[in-house]
Amino acid sequence: MENLGRKLEEQIPRLRRYALALVGDPNRADDLVQDCLERAWQRLHLWKRGGNMRAWLFTILHNVHANSARKFFNSPTLVTLNNDWGGPAVRASQSDGLELEDIMAALRRLPEEQRQVMLLVGMEQMRYQEVAAVLGIPLGTVMSRLFRGRERLRAMLSGKPSSALRKAP
């Protein structure tokens, strides 16, 4: 049991990074990770021994996020007055910081489905099969969402109007 607890604990930084990228608020991200770990611990008996703990936890995180997103969408918007988190570490160059802000803003403007795939593949470096398992979608859907997300992101960052920015049917 101690070994399983350690395996869960090893995934916390990755879970938090992904949660933060999904929700954009450190406090909500911490709550999301805590809810995910609580659910995982309660359902540890459902995890297949020798299975991919990381994919299992990300699946739980995704499901918890989807549930909380539905609740959050229907609740009033709250404004955070104090935010001590300064964002991800960047080099001292001001232009690098501005570029990173542009990328983060563009990622937030992507449709949720594309952003999730982009973050899991790009930031968490998951294989396409793992992403498909985490999100519960076919492998082809992962690849098409990733392609469309990259195209939209590229168009947004280039500042040029593009057909990639139009809503997909």
CATH (domain of 114)? 1.10.10.10
Nearest to 58 by CA among 116, 107, 142: 116
169 assigned to some structural domain? no
118 and 72 together in one domain: no
Domain count, the chain: 2
For the entire predicted model, the pTM comes to 0.61
pLDDT digits (tens, 9 = 90+) for 71-82: 656 666 655 655
Radius of gyration for the chain, computed over Cα atoms and rounded to the nearest angstrom = 17
| pLDDT class of 169 with cuts at 50, 70, 90 | very low
pLDDT at 9: 87
Return the structure tokens found at 127.
């294989």
